[in-house]
Amino acid sequence: MQQAWKMTLWALAASLAAAAVILFLVFRFVLPPQETAGRAAPYTIRAWEGQVAVFQGDQPFPMQVFDSFVEALPEELRQKVLKGIPVEDEAQLSLLLEDYTS
């Protein structure tokens, strides 16, 4: 009888652990991240005095200005920079800056 309880408890513990792993994977990799209304992106790529610049949060002055001129960009990229491109993390920022500054 006691052996049956141990097996039941082990099965229950294993099921709960598997459910926790599955839920973690679903929330981390399957579901899209939830947007926080009104929250400014950590970085924004936009024009500053005719050049491509990176702004941190909602700061009025850029944290970095590049030698790339907005007018020299292809039309599609130019329009995006003029509107402002929200960037969620430094990895994404690095990738986008390759497009806008090379």
30-84: pLDDT as tens digits: 766 655 555 678 999 999 999 999 999 889 999 999 998 999 988 988 999 999 9
Q: What is the pLDDT of residues 57-68, one digit of tens each?
A: 889 999 999 998
Q: Looking up tokens 């993390």, which residue turns up?
A: 89
**Distance between CA atoms of residues 84 and 46, nearest Å:** 5
The per-residue pLDDT for 33 is 62
